[in-house]
Amino acid sequence: MFKEVPNDGLGRQSQCQGQKNESVMKQAYSFIKNNLKVGTDMTKTTIPTSFVMPESFLVSIQQNTAVYSHLLTIADSIQDPEKRFLQVLKFHLIWPRMYFPRNPLNPTLGEVYHNQVHHMDESTNKVIPGDVTRFVSEQVSHHPPISAFHFENAKHDIQYDSSQQITPVFTGKNIRAQMDVRTSIKLGRHNNTYINDKFPDGYLRLLRWKFEFSGKYTFMCPETGHRALIHFKDKPFLGGKWHELHIYVSRGKDTLYEITGSHVDTLHITNLKDKKSSVFINYNTMRREPIVEPSLDSMEANNSIRVWKGVYDAFADQDVRRAGLEKHRVEEAERKKLQQPDLVYDPVHFKLVDHAGEANGGQQPCIKYLK
Protein backbone atom coordinates (compact mmCIF):
# COMPACT_ATOMS: atom_id res chain seq x y z
CA MET A 1 0.00 0.00 0.00
CA PHE A 2 1.41 3.40 -1.01
CA LYS A 3 0.83 6.86 0.43
CA GLU A 4 1.65 10.32 -0.91
CA VAL A 5 4.54 12.20 0.68
CA PRO A 6 5.12 16.00 0.79
CA ASN A 7 5.65 17.47 -2.69
CA ASP A 8 7.81 20.47 -1.83
CA GLY A 9 11.03 19.33 -3.47
CA LEU A 10 12.65 19.02 -0.04
CA GLY A 11 11.29 15.72 1.25
CA ARG A 12 11.53 15.24 5.00
CA GLN A 13 13.91 18.17 5.32
CA SER A 14 10.88 20.46 5.25
CA GLN A 15 9.61 18.96 8.51
CA CYS A 16 12.68 20.14 10.38
CA GLN A 17 14.03 23.61 11.09
CA GLY A 18 17.77 24.11 10.60
CA GLN A 19 20.06 26.04 12.86
CA LYS A 20 21.10 29.59 12.07
CA ASN A 21 23.91 29.77 9.55
CA GLU A 22 26.25 31.62 11.93
CA SER A 23 25.87 28.91 14.59
CA VAL A 24 26.54 26.14 12.08
CA MET A 25 29.65 27.96 10.82
CA LYS A 26 31.11 28.27 14.32
CA GLN A 27 30.51 24.59 15.02
CA ALA A 28 31.94 23.64 11.63
CA TYR A 29 35.19 25.53 12.19
CA SER A 30 35.53 23.95 15.63
CA PHE A 31 34.91 20.48 14.21
CA ILE A 32 37.44 21.01 11.40
CA LYS A 33 40.11 22.32 13.78
CA ASN A 34 39.75 19.40 16.18
CA ASN A 35 39.10 16.49 13.81
CA LEU A 36 40.38 17.05 10.28
CA LYS A 37 43.76 17.10 8.62
CA VAL A 38 44.53 17.94 5.00
CA GLY A 39 43.68 14.90 2.88
CA THR A 40 41.22 13.39 5.38
CA ASP A 41 38.62 11.15 3.69
CA MET A 42 35.47 12.30 5.47
CA THR A 43 33.50 9.15 4.59
CA LYS A 44 35.39 7.59 7.48
CA THR A 45 34.65 10.47 9.86
CA THR A 46 31.58 10.69 12.08
CA ILE A 47 29.79 13.92 11.15
CA PRO A 48 28.19 15.88 14.04
CA THR A 49 24.40 15.75 14.08
CA SER A 50 24.11 19.53 13.76
CA PHE A 51 25.58 19.33 10.23
CA VAL A 52 23.34 16.49 9.09
CA MET A 53 20.43 16.83 6.69
CA PRO A 54 17.57 14.87 8.32
CA GLU A 55 17.23 12.51 5.39
CA SER A 56 19.04 9.45 4.08
CA PHE A 57 21.14 9.98 0.95
CA LEU A 58 19.00 7.37 -0.84
CA VAL A 59 15.77 9.23 -0.02
CA SER A 60 17.18 12.67 -0.81
CA ILE A 61 18.51 11.75 -4.25
CA GLN A 62 15.61 9.54 -5.28
CA GLN A 63 12.85 11.95 -4.25
CA ASN A 64 14.53 14.86 -6.03
CA THR A 65 14.80 12.67 -9.13
CA ALA A 66 11.22 11.43 -8.93
CA VAL A 67 9.43 14.77 -8.77
CA TYR A 68 10.91 15.76 -12.15
CA SER A 69 10.70 12.36 -13.91
CA HIS A 70 7.81 13.60 -16.08
CA LEU A 71 10.43 15.50 -18.10
CA LEU A 72 11.46 12.14 -19.56
CA THR A 73 7.93 11.00 -20.37
CA ILE A 74 7.62 14.24 -22.34
CA ALA A 75 10.89 13.42 -24.14
CA ASP A 76 9.44 10.09 -25.25
CA SER A 77 6.73 11.91 -27.22
CA ILE A 78 9.24 14.08 -29.18
CA GLN A 79 10.08 12.71 -32.63
CA ASP A 80 12.86 15.15 -33.61
CA PRO A 81 16.21 13.81 -32.23
CA GLU A 82 17.60 17.30 -31.60
CA LYS A 83 14.58 18.52 -29.66
CA ARG A 84 14.43 15.20 -27.82
CA PHE A 85 18.06 15.58 -26.73
CA LEU A 86 17.34 19.07 -25.38
CA GLN A 87 14.37 17.73 -23.40
CA VAL A 88 16.44 14.89 -21.88
CA LEU A 89 19.15 17.46 -21.11
CA LYS A 90 16.56 19.42 -19.08
CA PHE A 91 15.96 16.36 -16.93
CA HIS A 92 19.68 15.72 -16.60
CA LEU A 93 20.29 19.27 -15.39
CA ILE A 94 18.12 18.82 -12.29
CA TRP A 95 20.99 16.96 -10.59
CA PRO A 96 22.66 20.03 -9.00
CA ARG A 97 19.48 20.54 -6.94
CA MET A 98 20.08 17.22 -5.21
CA TYR A 99 23.40 18.00 -3.51
CA PHE A 100 23.78 20.44 -0.63
CA PRO A 101 26.52 21.49 1.82
CA ARG A 102 24.67 19.82 4.70
CA ASN A 103 25.51 16.15 4.78
CA PRO A 104 22.67 13.61 4.33
CA LEU A 105 22.58 10.54 6.52
CA ASN A 106 24.98 7.90 5.21
CA PRO A 107 22.95 4.83 4.17
CA THR A 108 23.66 1.57 5.96
CA LEU A 109 24.90 -1.37 3.90
CA GLY A 110 21.89 -2.98 2.24
CA GLU A 111 19.59 -0.08 2.98
CA VAL A 112 16.87 0.33 0.32
CA TYR A 113 14.24 2.87 -0.64
CA HIS A 114 11.26 2.59 -3.00
CA ASN A 115 8.71 5.05 -4.31
CA GLN A 116 6.48 5.70 -7.30
CA VAL A 117 5.18 8.55 -9.41
CA HIS A 118 1.69 8.29 -10.93
CA HIS A 119 2.06 10.83 -13.71
CA MET A 120 -0.59 13.49 -14.19
CA ASP A 121 -2.02 15.24 -17.22
CA GLU A 122 -0.89 18.85 -16.71
CA SER A 123 -3.97 20.27 -18.47
CA THR A 124 -6.52 18.31 -16.40
CA ASN A 125 -4.47 17.62 -13.26
CA LYS A 126 -5.73 14.04 -13.37
CA VAL A 127 -3.66 10.84 -13.17
CA ILE A 128 -2.90 9.29 -16.56
CA PRO A 129 -4.00 5.61 -16.48
CA GLY A 130 -1.04 3.21 -16.54
CA ASP A 131 1.57 5.98 -16.58
CA VAL A 132 3.61 4.99 -13.52
CA THR A 133 7.34 5.36 -12.91
CA ARG A 134 8.75 2.99 -10.28
CA PHE A 135 11.93 3.73 -8.36
CA VAL A 136 14.31 1.59 -6.33
CA SER A 137 17.64 2.41 -4.70
CA GLU A 138 20.07 0.39 -2.62
CA GLN A 139 23.32 0.95 -0.77
CA VAL A 140 25.42 -1.72 -2.46
CA SER A 141 28.77 -0.99 -0.78
CA HIS A 142 29.83 0.68 2.47
CA HIS A 143 33.57 1.27 1.96
CA PRO A 144 33.75 2.72 -0.58
CA PRO A 145 30.20 4.05 -0.17
CA ILE A 146 28.36 3.27 -3.42
CA SER A 147 24.64 3.91 -3.92
CA ALA A 148 22.70 2.45 -6.84
CA PHE A 149 19.53 3.95 -8.33
CA HIS A 150 17.08 2.65 -10.92
CA PHE A 151 13.70 3.69 -12.24
CA GLU A 152 11.57 2.57 -15.14
CA ASN A 153 8.30 3.42 -16.85
CA ALA A 154 6.74 0.55 -18.81
CA LYS A 155 4.21 2.75 -20.68
CA HIS A 156 7.00 4.83 -22.22
CA ASP A 157 9.75 2.16 -22.18
CA ILE A 158 12.05 4.42 -20.15
CA GLN A 159 14.89 3.17 -17.94
CA TYR A 160 17.31 5.12 -15.77
CA ASP A 161 20.35 3.74 -13.95
CA SER A 162 22.91 5.49 -11.79
CA SER A 163 25.81 4.56 -9.52
CA GLN A 164 27.00 7.24 -7.15
CA GLN A 165 30.12 7.41 -5.01
CA ILE A 166 30.53 10.77 -3.26
CA THR A 167 33.82 11.18 -1.38
CA PRO A 168 34.23 14.37 0.70
CA VAL A 169 37.89 15.22 1.33
CA PHE A 170 39.26 18.07 3.48
CA THR A 171 41.79 20.06 1.44
CA GLY A 172 42.58 22.85 3.89
CA LYS A 173 40.59 25.78 2.54
CA ASN A 174 37.79 23.64 1.10
CA ILE A 175 35.88 20.45 1.61
CA ARG A 176 35.95 18.82 -1.80
CA ALA A 177 33.17 16.41 -2.75
CA GLN A 178 34.58 14.06 -5.38
CA MET A 179 31.57 13.18 -7.54
CA ASP A 180 32.00 9.78 -9.14
CA VAL A 181 28.47 9.70 -10.54
CA ARG A 182 27.48 7.75 -13.65
CA THR A 183 24.02 7.89 -15.19
CA SER A 184 22.35 6.17 -18.12
CA ILE A 185 18.92 7.04 -19.54
CA LYS A 186 17.31 4.77 -22.12
CA LEU A 187 14.34 5.75 -24.27
CA GLY A 188 13.50 2.33 -25.66
CA ARG A 189 10.97 3.37 -28.29
CA HIS A 190 13.58 5.61 -29.93
CA ASN A 191 16.54 3.30 -29.26
CA ASN A 192 18.37 6.24 -27.67
CA THR A 193 20.77 6.13 -24.73
CA TYR A 194 21.94 9.23 -22.88
CA ILE A 195 25.04 9.03 -20.68
CA ASN A 196 27.49 11.26 -18.82
CA ASP A 197 31.20 10.62 -18.31
CA LYS A 198 31.40 12.14 -14.81
CA PHE A 199 30.04 14.96 -12.68
CA PRO A 200 32.17 17.96 -11.68
CA ASP A 201 33.39 18.03 -8.10
CA GLY A 202 31.66 20.12 -5.47
CA TYR A 203 33.47 22.48 -3.09
CA LEU A 204 32.41 23.90 0.23
CA ARG A 205 34.47 27.13 0.25
CA LEU A 206 35.16 27.44 3.96
CA LEU A 207 36.40 31.04 4.00
CA ARG A 208 33.26 32.21 2.20
CA TRP A 209 30.97 29.44 3.53
CA LYS A 210 29.51 28.75 0.09
CA PHE A 211 29.04 25.52 -1.81
CA GLU A 212 29.59 25.33 -5.57
CA PHE A 213 30.35 22.88 -8.35
CA SER A 214 33.42 23.39 -10.50
CA GLY A 215 34.56 21.63 -13.66
CA LYS A 216 33.56 20.30 -17.08
CA TYR A 217 32.00 17.07 -18.27
CA THR A 218 30.06 15.71 -21.24
CA PHE A 219 26.48 14.48 -21.58
CA MET A 220 25.82 12.66 -24.84
CA CYS A 221 23.60 10.44 -26.97
CA PRO A 222 25.85 8.05 -28.96
CA GLU A 223 23.04 6.97 -31.31
CA THR A 224 22.22 10.47 -32.60
CA GLY A 225 25.63 12.08 -32.08
CA HIS A 226 24.29 14.93 -29.93
CA ARG A 227 26.41 16.03 -27.00
CA ALA A 228 26.51 18.79 -24.43
CA LEU A 229 29.77 20.12 -22.99
CA ILE A 230 28.73 21.31 -19.54
CA HIS A 231 30.93 23.75 -17.63
CA PHE A 232 30.28 24.69 -14.00
CA LYS A 233 32.29 27.84 -13.39
CA ASP A 234 33.83 28.50 -9.99
CA LYS A 235 33.47 32.02 -8.67
CA PRO A 236 36.69 34.04 -8.37
CA PHE A 237 37.44 35.40 -4.90
CA LEU A 238 36.72 38.90 -6.27
CA GLY A 239 34.04 39.56 -8.85
CA GLY A 240 32.08 37.02 -10.84
CA LYS A 241 28.87 35.25 -9.83
CA TRP A 242 28.03 32.11 -7.89
CA HIS A 243 26.64 29.01 -9.62
CA GLU A 244 27.31 30.03 -13.23
CA LEU A 245 26.73 27.36 -15.85
CA HIS A 246 27.85 27.42 -19.50
CA ILE A 247 26.84 24.71 -21.98
CA TYR A 248 27.48 24.13 -25.68
CA VAL A 249 25.24 21.62 -27.48
CA SER A 250 26.69 20.15 -30.66
CA ARG A 251 26.34 17.36 -33.20
CA GLY A 252 29.49 16.32 -34.97
CA LYS A 253 31.42 19.47 -35.86
CA ASP A 254 28.36 21.71 -35.68
CA THR A 255 27.76 23.72 -32.50
CA LEU A 256 24.00 24.18 -32.31
CA TYR A 257 23.10 25.90 -29.04
CA GLU A 258 24.61 27.88 -26.21
CA ILE A 259 23.03 27.66 -22.75
CA THR A 260 24.03 30.11 -20.01
CA GLY A 261 22.82 31.23 -16.62
CA SER A 262 22.60 29.93 -13.08
CA HIS A 263 21.77 26.37 -12.07
CA VAL A 264 19.97 27.66 -8.98
CA ASP A 265 17.87 30.19 -10.87
CA THR A 266 17.38 30.41 -14.66
CA LEU A 267 19.13 29.07 -17.76
CA HIS A 268 18.68 30.66 -21.20
CA ILE A 269 19.25 28.91 -24.52
CA THR A 270 20.42 30.57 -27.76
CA ASN A 271 20.05 28.95 -31.17
CA LEU A 272 23.40 29.73 -32.78
CA LYS A 273 21.93 29.61 -36.28
CA ASP A 274 19.27 32.30 -35.92
CA LYS A 275 20.57 33.85 -32.63
CA LYS A 276 17.12 33.58 -31.03
CA SER A 277 17.13 33.15 -27.24
CA SER A 278 14.56 31.86 -24.78
CA VAL A 279 14.29 30.45 -21.26
CA PHE A 280 15.55 26.87 -21.18
CA ILE A 281 14.97 26.12 -17.48
CA ASN A 282 13.52 28.23 -14.70
CA TYR A 283 14.43 26.20 -11.63
CA ASN A 284 12.06 28.26 -9.48
CA THR A 285 8.93 27.37 -11.44
CA MET A 286 9.66 23.81 -12.64
CA ARG A 287 6.62 21.58 -12.18
CA ARG A 288 6.94 18.85 -9.56
CA GLU A 289 4.77 15.76 -9.51
CA PRO A 290 3.62 14.02 -6.31
CA ILE A 291 5.43 10.89 -5.23
CA VAL A 292 4.07 8.01 -3.20
CA GLU A 293 5.89 5.49 -1.04
CA PRO A 294 4.85 2.33 0.86
CA SER A 295 3.07 2.80 4.15
CA LEU A 296 5.38 2.48 7.16
CA ASP A 297 3.91 -0.81 8.36
CA SER A 298 4.47 -2.42 4.93
CA MET A 299 8.12 -1.34 4.60
CA GLU A 300 10.91 -3.85 5.02
CA ALA A 301 13.19 -3.40 8.06
CA ASN A 302 16.05 -2.09 5.92
CA ASN A 303 13.96 0.61 4.22
CA SER A 304 15.55 4.04 4.70
CA ILE A 305 12.42 5.42 6.37
CA ARG A 306 12.42 2.69 9.03
CA VAL A 307 16.20 2.67 9.51
CA TRP A 308 16.34 6.41 10.28
CA LYS A 309 12.84 6.97 11.68
CA GLY A 310 14.17 7.83 15.14
CA VAL A 311 16.40 10.54 13.66
CA TYR A 312 13.59 11.91 11.46
CA ASP A 313 11.20 12.12 14.42
CA ALA A 314 13.76 13.80 16.68
CA PHE A 315 14.58 16.45 14.06
CA ALA A 316 10.86 17.03 13.48
CA ASP A 317 10.56 17.70 17.23
CA GLN A 318 13.61 20.00 16.99
CA ASP A 319 15.41 17.80 19.50
CA VAL A 320 18.99 17.75 18.18
CA ARG A 321 20.31 15.88 21.22
CA ARG A 322 17.85 13.00 20.74
CA ALA A 323 18.57 13.02 17.01
CA GLY A 324 22.27 12.57 17.83
CA LEU A 325 21.52 9.63 20.11
CA GLU A 326 19.33 7.98 17.46
CA LYS A 327 21.97 8.57 14.79
CA HIS A 328 24.65 7.06 17.08
CA ARG A 329 22.43 4.01 17.73
CA VAL A 330 22.10 3.28 14.00
CA GLU A 331 25.80 3.90 13.31
CA GLU A 332 26.94 1.68 16.19
CA ALA A 333 24.75 -1.19 14.95
CA GLU A 334 26.27 -0.70 11.50
CA ARG A 335 29.83 -0.79 12.85
CA LYS A 336 29.14 -4.06 14.66
CA LYS A 337 27.64 -5.55 11.51
CA LEU A 338 30.63 -4.53 9.40
CA GLN A 339 33.07 -6.03 11.91
CA GLN A 340 31.80 -9.53 11.20
CA PRO A 341 34.80 -11.34 9.64
CA ASP A 342 32.69 -13.40 7.25
CA LEU A 343 30.45 -10.54 6.07
CA VAL A 344 29.91 -10.55 2.31
CA TYR A 345 27.04 -8.43 1.07
CA ASP A 346 25.21 -9.56 -2.05
CA PRO A 347 22.97 -6.72 -3.32
CA VAL A 348 19.30 -7.60 -3.66
CA HIS A 349 18.28 -5.29 -6.51
CA PHE A 350 21.59 -4.69 -8.28
CA LYS A 351 24.66 -6.55 -9.45
CA LEU A 352 28.23 -5.31 -9.12
CA VAL A 353 30.28 -6.03 -12.23
CA ASP A 354 33.96 -6.63 -11.43
CA HIS A 355 35.39 -4.94 -14.51
CA ALA A 356 34.47 -1.26 -14.76
CA GLY A 357 34.83 -1.01 -18.51
CA GLU A 358 35.25 2.00 -20.75
CA ALA A 359 31.98 3.70 -19.78
CA ASN A 360 33.10 4.75 -16.31
CA GLY A 361 36.85 4.91 -16.68
CA GLY A 362 37.54 2.04 -14.32
CA GLN A 363 37.00 4.12 -11.19
CA GLN A 364 34.24 2.06 -9.60
CA PRO A 365 32.32 -1.17 -10.31
CA CYS A 366 29.58 -1.10 -12.92
CA ILE A 367 26.07 -1.39 -11.49
CA LYS A 368 23.44 -3.48 -13.22
CA TYR A 369 19.81 -3.54 -12.14
CA LEU A 370 18.36 -7.01 -11.54
CA LYS A 371 14.72 -7.24 -12.58
Q: What distance in Å separates the CA atoms of residue 6 and residue 288, rounded to the nearest whole number? A: 11
* Residue 102: DSSP 8-state: S
pLDDT of res. 30: 66
Distance CA 37, CA 45 (A): 11
The answer to whether position 281 is within a domain reads no
Q: What are phi and psi of 338, to 5 degrees?
A: -75, -15
Q: Find the domain containing 112 and state its range.
A: 2-190+288-369
- Summarize the confidence of residues 282-307 as an average pLDDT: 95
Assess if residue 235 is contained within a domain: no
Alpha-carbon distance of 296 to 192, in angstroms, equals 37
139-156: average pLDDT: 94
Mean pLDDT value of segment 279-290: 96
- Asked if 76 and 156 count as a contact pair (C-beta separation under 8 A), the reply is yes
Number of structural domains the chain divides into:
1
In a domain, 226, yes or no: no
Residue type, 284: N
pLDDT for 16 equals 47
pLDDT at residue 363, rounded to an integer: 46
Look at residue 215 and tell me if it is in a domain: no
Is 262 inside any structural domain? Answer: no
| Structural domain contains residue 252 | no
Answer whether residue 265 is part of any domain. no
Contact predicate 203/212, CB 8 Å: yes
Residue 207 in domain: no
Whole-prediction pTM: 0.88
The 10s digit of each residue's pLDDT in 184-220 is 999 999 999 999 978 999 998 877 778 899 999 999 9
DSSP string for 19-49 = PPHHHHHHHHHHHHHHH--TT-BGGGSPPPG
Residues across the chain: 371
